[in-house]
Amino acid sequence: MLPLSLLRTAQNHPMLVELKNGETYNGHLVSCDNWMNINLREVICTSRDGDKFWRMPECYIRGSTIKYLRIPDEVIDMVKEEVMQKSRGRGEMKGGRGGPGQRGRGGARGAFGGGRGGRQGPLGRGGGLGGGAGRPNKPKKL
């Protein structure tokens, strides 16, 4: 599975992004591209030391500045679904590798669009984030 396929599948899901400068951004992924550039909405930015916080309605982050992304556990299962459906549809047209350009079918998406919840690990490192223990990665609307 390709990391960028997983990231594309994670669109509309909450996530935590840590940048190389140490800042973290909690928000919902709106869109991403092949360079890992991302748009987030309803974002909470945490300073490197975990002592300052900002709310922003949306932001654009250059992919090359990302250190890592934390994604809800269940998203990885949706990628499998997407890949299987894609390969089935494509088999007749042409063999070989396809670009990662096409998005999944609407149907698969809808089927998974609903309820999340259950286990959500803490996002972010302990220090400065109130320990982070048990904190859901979905930023509460403030």
Q: Which residues bind other proteins (CB under 8 A)?
A: 1-7, 19-23, 31-34, 36-39, 43-44, 46, 48-49, 52-73, 75-76, 101, 120-126, 129-136, 139-140, 142
Distance CA(136)–CA(111), nearest Å, equals: 23
Cα angle 73, 77, 83; round to 5: 140
Cα angle 27, 30, 34; round to 5: 115
Ramachandran region, residue 14 (left: φ > 0; alpha: ψ -120 to 50; beta: rest): beta
User: Phi, psi (5° rounding) for residue 65?
Assistant: -95, 0
As measured in angstroms, the least distance from the Cβ of 111 to other proteins is 19
Q: Which is nearer to other proteins, 55 or 90 (CB)?
A: 55
Q: Which is nearer to other proteins, 55 or 89 (CB)?
A: 55
Distance CA(23)–CA(77), nearest Å, equals: 28
As measured in angstroms, the least distance from the Cβ of 24 to other proteins is 10
Distance CA(68)–CA(105), nearest Å, equals: 27
Q: Which is nearer to other proteins, 51 or 107 (CB)?
A: 51
As measured in angstroms, the least distance from the Cβ of 118 to other proteins is 12
As measured in angstroms, the least distance from the Cβ of 14 to other proteins is 12
As measured in angstroms, the least distance from the Cβ of 9 to other proteins is 11
- Sequence-distant (6+) residues with CB within 8 A of 94 are none
Q: Which is nearer to other proteins, 34 or 113 (CB)?
A: 34
Q: Which is nearer to other proteins, 3 or 106 (CB)?
A: 3
